Chain A
């Protein structure tokens, strides 16, 4: 093996968690999109649009984190949107109907999200059935229960400060929601990098049997990961409440499914588990938000949006695949 290949492999290993090369390519693509949109649509760089991009980005980032938390164990969470909307309606109910103080209501909604996620994890760990089918079923249970209880009636006389928080601008440009999303990202980064529990989650995701033999309580770790996923989905839901200034039963659901996977997968989180890309998920979410907003400003309309998002997800998966193959070939010594 040549020295060059050795150094490349060790570099890859060192940055294996984040997959830096993938993120570098992603950053270039994002920059290209920004350049094109700024050039074709003068309104794209206006303070107003930047503010709304940032606010939408905050929600996309946290939705991506919610999926990432489940992907870390090698599972997935199809109920991200359902838990999100359950948190939205619970938060709205606590604030409006029960007139509880806003922080208490937020705490209650986040608690519900974590509990619903925990329930997913508990059933998955106990039954050994794939996370896909359990969360597909629970997504419908949660959404169905929400619709039965709320009769799909929106709650739109929330306390004024909720909507005001969503409209607040730091330095006339940045939404506090984006600051929250970045803070969540920082916490998650430290959690997966440096905490024992975070390392245990990644170990269980990489190889459940080996982790179990090394004394990792795999079932508990999976349950906690799904509770974390639910907590993050609820956080995204509360951000949407602040953004809309109301609790809408049409939020979340299946609309969050694709974005939740786009962020982590574009950012380099493997579906097979064992690794997370926190910064990558943020970049992936930025790409999604950029494209959505750019098409809106260019007035191309929302109809084609899904085509672009689907094609981008495909391209990302293919590029990642071929990069892995290429590196594999480079790593094998020539005879």
Chain B
């Protein structure tokens, strides 16, 4: 196999090329692209998206899905905001509490899915509706505005083009990479996703795997929610409402198999970067914002097609 062919079969090779070419094209077409401020704005907008994508990636890894990623994020965001504004919790208490809420939501999803054996799609569709209902019922769709200055500053500050906000998802990406490649529980998740029967016969507990994937997914959704509050400077009930598409698009474009068992942290990271680049490019080129949705849909189809092509090719080789 030639080096070129081998590179072609690495999941994120196409993405890396697309990102490089896209960035090159943008820097030629739009002089504003390479300014420190524009790069900062783009990277900052990626931070939440990365965690959202990881939240879905984890459930895709065990061959399931989590429709409630956005709903859980929204609920966590407003509970986070409420504990700060109404009860005066310090951040050191409010953030762990928010993460715990996310994990709890994931635990509910996981237990319901594992215990009943019902399709995770329908379970999380139902819990998503319930979480959204609680969110809007509590807030009456009124945001919490009084966020601590330190949190807002964390959302705003940057070192050169590098926003502080991006640090959190990068650390998470590193930990997830270690978890899925080196840690026994992470390997068990993927083994189960690849072949549930074989995994169960090898002594992996179905319930533990499914529940831990959903808890991890909820935890990551909550982390995304906290970052979103920091980024916006207020706890909006609408946080998470538009996460669903991105959450699936990024891991799938990054090479995750929908059938489970195979995910790519680096691929997902590059996919989010590519999507951010495209959005940024469309803003700089003053393209109608309505195109964003269309392009995202088209990209998923293209990625699915590419993944199939790669699977067929590598199967032959």
Residues of A participating in the B interface, judged by any CB pair closer than 8 Å: 76, 123, 127-130, 132-134, 136-145, 147-148, 151-152, 254, 257-258, 261, 265, 271-272, 302-311, 313-314, 317-318, 321
Contacts and interface: CB of A to CB of B under 8 A. Distances in A.
B308 A129 contact: yes
B291 interface: yes
Contacts of B116: 317-318, 321
B251 to A, nearest CB: 11
A148 B293 CA distance: 10
A152 B290 CA distance: 9
B128 interface: yes
A258 B121 CA distance: 12
Nearest to A254: B244
A147 B293 contact: yes
B301 A137 contact: yes
A144 B297 CA distance: 8
Contacts of A138: 297, 301
Contact of B129 (A132, A142, A309): A309
Nearest to B288: A148
Contacts of B308: 127-129
A30 to B, nearest CB: 19
Interface in B262-317: 288, 290-298, 300-301, 304-305, 308
Contacts of A134: 301, 304
Nearest to B130: A310
Contact of A130 (B131, B258, B296, B297): B258
B-side interface size class: 35 or more
Interface in B8-42: none
B55 to A, nearest CB: 16
A325 to B, nearest CB: 10
B272 to A, nearest CB: 17
B136 A306 contact: yes
Given A136-B248, A137-B297, A303-B136, A321 B130 contact: no
A132 B117 CA distance: 19
Nearest to A144: B294
Nearest to A79: B297
B129, B248, B293 pick with most chain A CB within 10 angstroms: B129
A173 B117 CA distance: 44
B130 A304 contact: no
B167 interface: no
B104 interface: no
